[in-house]
C-alpha cells in the first residue's frame, strides 16, 4: 500500500497537502508524507466566533434531531472504516488491526450518542413546600474545544464530539501536530454527514491545524465553554490552570501508569495473553498500556519465563503488514526517552530483557524497538513515571495489601487490574481500600476499554470522564427549577418574612 493511495482512499488529495510549514512524517520510515499550512492565532479566534454563532442555532435543534446527524456520521464512518483505519496506521504507526479498532470505537460511541439523544434525562425532586414542584433540566453548554494526543488520532475526538453534538454543542478540534491528516480525513467524513443532514449550522465542526500555541488560544478563550484535553500530564497541568482561571469547564484525560497484580490463584495462560496485548500493543503508546506487573512470589518463576519466550519472538515491523504485532514508536524523541528510562532502571538495579532497536538497516528513519521487560528490585522513581514506550517493569509481592499499596503508589490513576480466581482478593481490589484508579478490572488487562463505561482516571490522570455512562453531563449545564403552582408564597426552611 503506497502512502499516496492511503491518503487518497481516506478522501485526501495529496496535492492539497503540500507547501505549508508543518511537516508530517510517517513513523513507518520517517519520510515526509505532507506539508500542511498551519492556522494562525487570528484564524482560531475567528473559528471560535463562528462556532459561537453555530451554537446559537444548534442548541435550538431538538436533541433527537441532533442525534440524527450523529447517526449519519456513524453511517459515513462505517463506509470508510478501512480507509480511515489505514490512515491512522500510516500516520501514527499503530498496526492496522488497532487502526481499524479505533474507527470502530468511533462508530460505537456514535451509536451510543444516537440513543443518548433521546435520554438526556433530568430529575423530578420532591419539594418541601406545598404546591411546588422541583426538577433538574439539562441544557447545551456552549462551544467544546477538543485537544487530542498523537497516539489515538481519531477515537478521543469522537468520544467527545459525538456526545457534544447530541448535547447541543459545536466542536473545534485541535489534533496533535504529529497526526493532523487523520483529523482532516475525519472532517471530510463529518462534512459528508452534514451535507446529507441538510439543516446543520455552518461551522458546527471545525479543525485547527497547528501546535500547542493554537491549543492555548482555545484554552484561554471565554468563547470555548468546555475544553476536553487528552495528552500528557504536563499539558493537562497547563490546560487545567488556564481553563480554571476563567472558570471554564475542563475534562482532562492525561497520562497513566497502569498495573496488573497477578495473584497465586490466577489463570496464568489468560494472564500471559492479557499482559502481552496490554504491554506491547500500540508499541506501548497507549494511555492504558500495562507498564507495571506486580507478581506474587508463588507464580513469579512460572510466569516470567513464559513472558520472556513470547517477548523474544514478537513480530515487529511495518504496521500495515499482516501478522505484525508491534509497530514503530512515533519519533526519535520517543526512542530517546525509552532508552534513557532503561538506563535509569539499570542504575536502580533493574535487569533488562529486550529493549534493543530493530530494523535499523531497513528503516533508518523509523524507530522500531523490541519491547522491554525489566525485573526491578523495588518500585523506584523511574517506574513511577510514565515512559511512553513498550517497557514493562516487573516486581514481586507477598501479601495482597502490599501489592495494592504498590499499585496505588504512583502519581497517575488511570487503569489497573488483578488476575485472580479468589473472590476475596478480587473484591478487595475493587473496594474502597483497593485500586485508586478510574478503571479497575478483574481477569482482563488494563487497556482496550469499551465505550459503554465512563473512561478516565484520578490524580495526575486529571480526573476527567469521557465516553459512556453519564459522561454526557460534562457537556451540558444543569439547571434546577422550582415551580410554584399554589396561591401562597411559603419560604424554604420555614422562614417567615412578612412585608
Only segment of 65-73, 193-201, 211-219, 361-369 that touches ligand NAD (CB under 6 A): 211-219
Kindly tell me which of 177 and 375 has the beta carbon lying closer to ligand NAD: 177
- C-alpha grid cell, residue 109: 460511541
Residue 231 in the binding site for ligand NAD (CB under 6 A): yes
CB 286, min distance to ligand NAD, A: 7
Instruction: Check if 437 is active-site.
Output: no
179: helix, strand or coil: coil
Find residue 296's DSSP bridge partners. 397
- Binding mask of the shown chain, residues 445 to 484, with x at each position contacting ligand NAD by CB under 6 A: ----------------x-----------------------
With vertex at residue 470, the alpha carbon angle to CA 464 and CA 475, rounded to the nearest 5 degrees, is 65
Residue 438 in the binding site for ligand NAD (CB under 6 A): no
Q: In what order do the strands lie in the sheet with 439-442?
A: 351-353, 372-375, 391-397, 290-296, 258-262, 415-419, 439-442
Q: Give, in order, the Cα–Cα distances in Å from 7 to each of 17, 96, 136.
A: 10, 15, 47
Residue 386 in the binding site for ligand NAD (CB under 6 A): yes
- Alpha helices for 246-358 (secondary structure H): 268-280, 297-312, 332-347
The active-site residue out of 98, 253, 425, 466 is 253
Among 27, 85, 140, 215, binds ligand NAD (CB under 6 A): 215
Among 55, 58, 138, 150, binds ligand NAD (CB under 6 A): 150
Residue 237 in the binding site for ligand NAD (CB under 6 A): no
Size of the site for ligand NAD (CB under 6 A): 30
Among 60, 211, 273, 308, binds ligand NAD (CB under 6 A): 211
DSSP single-letter state for residue 329: B
- Residue 273, number of CB atoms within 10 A of its CB: 13
Among 239, 260, 290, 345, binds ligand NAD (CB under 6 A): 239
Residue 443 in the binding site for ligand NAD (CB under 6 A): no
Residue 147 in the binding site for ligand NAD (CB under 6 A): yes
Q: In what order do the strands lie in the sheet with 249-253?
A: 205-207, 171-174, 143-147, 224-230, 249-253
Spatial neighbors of 159 by CB under 8 A, at least 6 apart, are 105, 109, 451, 455, 466, 467
Among 97, 104, 238, 484, binds ligand NAD (CB under 6 A): 238
C-beta pairs of 358-364 under 8 Å, 24+ apart in sequence: 358/316, 358/317, 359/316, 359/317, 363/28, 363/29, 363/30, 363/328, 364/30
Residue 221 in the binding site for ligand NAD (CB under 6 A): no
Residue 235 in the binding site for ligand NAD (CB under 6 A): yes
Spatial neighbors of 269 by CB under 8 A, at least 6 apart, are none
CB 45, min distance to ligand NAD, A: 15
- Residue 313, number of CB atoms within 10 A of its CB: 6
Under a CB-based contact definition with an 8 Å cutoff, are residues 235 and 212 in contact?
yes
Kindly tell me which of 140 and 464 has the beta carbon lying closer to ligand NAD: 464
Only segment of 32-40, 121-129, 149-157, 161-169 that touches ligand NAD (CB under 6 A): 149-157
Spatial neighbors of 450 by CB under 8 A, at least 6 apart, are 108, 468
CB 257, min distance to ligand NAD, A: 9
CA 240 to chain centre: 16
CB 117, min distance to ligand NAD, A: 24
CB 291, min distance to ligand NAD, A: 10
CB 289, min distance to ligand NAD, A: 8
Under a CB-based contact definition with an 8 Å cutoff, are residues 268 and 299 in contact?
yes
Classify 317 in phi/psi space as left (phi over 0), alpha (psi -120 to 50) or beta.
left
Find residue 329's DSSP bridge partners. 367
Residue 212 in the binding site for ligand NAD (CB under 6 A): yes
Kindly tell me which of 239 and 266 has the beta carbon lying closer to ligand NAD: 239
d(CA 362, CA 411): 39
d(CA 203, CA 200): 9
- Binding mask of the shown chain, residues 245 to 284, with x at each position contacting ligand NAD by CB under 6 A: --------xxxx----------------------------
Residue 414 in the binding site for ligand NAD (CB under 6 A): yes
Residue 174 in the binding site for ligand NAD (CB under 6 A): yes
CB 4, min distance to ligand NAD, A: 26
Instruction: Check if 287 is active-site.
Output: yes
CB 85, min distance to ligand NAD, A: 18
Only segment of 13-21, 111-119, 215-223, 271-279 that touches ligand NAD (CB under 6 A): 215-223
What residue has cell string 535499523?
360
The active-site residue out of 92, 287, 417, 437 is 287
Residue 387 in the binding site for ligand NAD (CB under 6 A): no
Kindly tell me which of 17 and 224 has the beta carbon lying closer to ligand NAD: 224
Residue 216 in the binding site for ligand NAD (CB under 6 A): yes
Residue 137 in the binding site for ligand NAD (CB under 6 A): no
- Scanning residues 176 to 195, which ones bind ligand NAD (CB under 6 A)? 176-177
Under a CB-based contact definition with an 8 Å cutoff, are residues 88 and 181 in contact?
no
Give residues in contact with ligand NAD (CB under 6 A): 147-152, 156, 174, 176-177, 211-212, 215-216, 219, 230-232, 235, 238-239, 253-256, 287, 386, 388, 414, 461
Would you name the residues annotated as active-site residues?
A: 253, 287
Amino acid at each position: 500500500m503506497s502512502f499516496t493511495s492511503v491518503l487518497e482512499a481516506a478522501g485526501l488529495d495529496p496535492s492539497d497537502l503540500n507547501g505549508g510549514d508543518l511537516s508530517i512524517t510517517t513513523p513507518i520510515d520517517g519520510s515526509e508524507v505532507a506539508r500542511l499550512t498551519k492556522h494562525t492565532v487570528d484564524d482560531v479566534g475567528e473559528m471560535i466566533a463562528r462556532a459561537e454563532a453555530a451554537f446559537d442555532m444548534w442548541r435550538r435543534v431538538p436533541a433527537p434531531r441532533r442525534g440524527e446527524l450523529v447517526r449519519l456520521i456513524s453511517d459515513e464512518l462505517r463506509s470508510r472504516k478501512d480507509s480511515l483505519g489505514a490512515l491512522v496506521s500510516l500516520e501514527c504507526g499503530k498496526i492496522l488491526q488497532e487502526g481499524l479498532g479505533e474507527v470502530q470505537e468511533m462508530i460505537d460511541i456514535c451509536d451510543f450518542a444516537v440513543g443518548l439523544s433521546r435520554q438526556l434525562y433530568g430529575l423530578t425532586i420532591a419539594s418541601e413546600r406545598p404546591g411546588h414542584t422541583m426538577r433538574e433540566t439539562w441544557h447545551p453548554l456552549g462551544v467544546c474545544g477538543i485537544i487530542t494526543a498523537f497516539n489515538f488520532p481519531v477515537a478521543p475526538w469522537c468520544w467527545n464530539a459525538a456526545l457534544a453534538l447530541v448535547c447541543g454543542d459545536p466542536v473545534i478540534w485541535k489534533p496533535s501536530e504529529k497526526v493532523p491528516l487523520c483529523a482532516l480525513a475525519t472532517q471530510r467524513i463529518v462534512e459528508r454527514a452534514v451535507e446529507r443532514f441538510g439543516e446543520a449550522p455552518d461551522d458546527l465542526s471545525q479543525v485547527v491545524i497547528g501546535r500547542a500555541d493554537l491549543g492555548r488560544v482555545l484554552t484561554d478563550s471565554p468563547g470555548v465553554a468546555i475544553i476536553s484535553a487528552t495528552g500528557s500530564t504536563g499539558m493537562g497541568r497547563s490546560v487545567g490552570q488556564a481553563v480554571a482561571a476563567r472558570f471554564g469547564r475542563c475534562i482532562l484525560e492525561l497520562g497513566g501508569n497502569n498495573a496488573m497484580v497477578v495473584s497465586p490463584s490466577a489463570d496464568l495462560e489468560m494472564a500471559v495473553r492479557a499482559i502481552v496485548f496490554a504491554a506491547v500493543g500500540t508499541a506501548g503508546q497507549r494511555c492504558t498500556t500495562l507498564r507495571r506487573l506486580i507478581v506474587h512470589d508463588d507464580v513469579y518463576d512460572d510466569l516470567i519465563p513464559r513472558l520472556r519466550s513470547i517477548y523474544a519472538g514478537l513480530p515487529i515491523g511495518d504496521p500495515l503488514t499482516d501478522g505484525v504485532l508491534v509497530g514503530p514508536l512515533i519519533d526519535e524523541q520517543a526512542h530517546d526517552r525509552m532508552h534513557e528510562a532503561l538506563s535509569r532502571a539499570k542504575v536502580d538495579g533493574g535487569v533488562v530483557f529486550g529493549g534493543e532497536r530493530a530494523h535499523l538497516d531497513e528503516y533508518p528513519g523509523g524507530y522500531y524497538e523490541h519491547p522491554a521487560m525489566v525485573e526491578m528490585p523495588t518500585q523506584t522513581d523511574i517506574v513511577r513515571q510514565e515512559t511512553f514506550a513498550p517497557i514493562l517493569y516487573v516486581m514481586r509481592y507477598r501479601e495482597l495489601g502490599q501489592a495494592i499499596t504498590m499499585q496505588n503508589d504512583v502519581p497517575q490513576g488511570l487503569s489497573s487490574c488483578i488476575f485472580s480466581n479468589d473472590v476475596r482478593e478480587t473484591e478487595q481490589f475493587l473496594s474502597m481500600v483497593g485500586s485508586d484508579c478510574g478503571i479497575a478490572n478483574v481477569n482482563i488487562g488494563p487497556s482496550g476499554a469499551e465505550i459503554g463505561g465512563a473512561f478516565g482516571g484520578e490524580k495526575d490522570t486529571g480526573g476527567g470522564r469521557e465516553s459512556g455512562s453519564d459522561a454526557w453531563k460534562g457537556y451540558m449545564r444543569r439547571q434546577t427549577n422550582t415551580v410554584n403552582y399554589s396561591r401562597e408564597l411559603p419560604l424554604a426552611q420555614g422562614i417567615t418574612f412578612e412585608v
